[in-house]
């Protein structure tokens, strides 16, 4: 069952355009859509002033961000390109308390901003 208020966000994920031909795949598509919506809701709660933002706005301003990925011996560094919304990302401290990545030698993730 979809959570209340998620129906207006599902249009961003194009639920009506599911590529699945088999019911099992549709169930997986719907499940992934609901999970993605939950992830965007979590992100919105962490970003100051964006708690009511829709997923397409969050995607455009925060997720669709260029940068570089550097793998060091002791950490994984994500360096974001310069953007107007970087101060909001920095304030959210999304990398603090981030679990190490098991399939990448248990390296912790660190964000860097220009």
In this structure, the number of other CB atoms found within 10 A of the CB of residue 85 comes to 14
pLDDT in tens, 15-60: 555 555 545 556 777 888 888 889 999 999 999 999 999 998 999 8
pLDDT score at 7? 54
pLDDT score at 1? 47
pLDDT in tens, 50-95: 999 999 899 988 888 889 999 999 889 999 899 888 899 889 888 8
Is the per-residue pLDDT at 14 higher than 90? no
Full-prediction pTM beyond 0.75? no
pLDDT score at 104? 84
User: DSSP assignment of 43-104, as one string?
Assistant: HHHHSTT-TT--HHHHIIIIIS--EEEEE-SS-EEEEEPP-TTHHHHHHHTTTTTPPPBGGG
According to DSSP, the residues that pair with 67 across neighbouring strands are 80
Residue 71 φ/ψ, nearest 5 degrees: -100, 115
């Amino acid at each position: 069952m979809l959570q209340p208020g998620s129906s207006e966000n599902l249009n961003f994920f194009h639920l009506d355009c599911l590529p699945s031909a088999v019911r099992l795949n549709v169930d997986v598509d719907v499940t992934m859509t609901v999970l993605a919506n939950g992830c965007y809701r979590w992100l919105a709660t962490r970003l100051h002033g964006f708690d009511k933002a829709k997923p397409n706005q969050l995607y455009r301003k925060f997720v669709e961000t260029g940068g570089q990925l550097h793998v060091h011996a002791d950490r994984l560094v994500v360096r974001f390109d310069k953007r107007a919304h970087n101060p909001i990302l920095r304030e959210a401290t999304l990398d603090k308390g981030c679990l190490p990545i098991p399939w990448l030698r248990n390296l912790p993730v660190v964000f860097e901003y220009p």
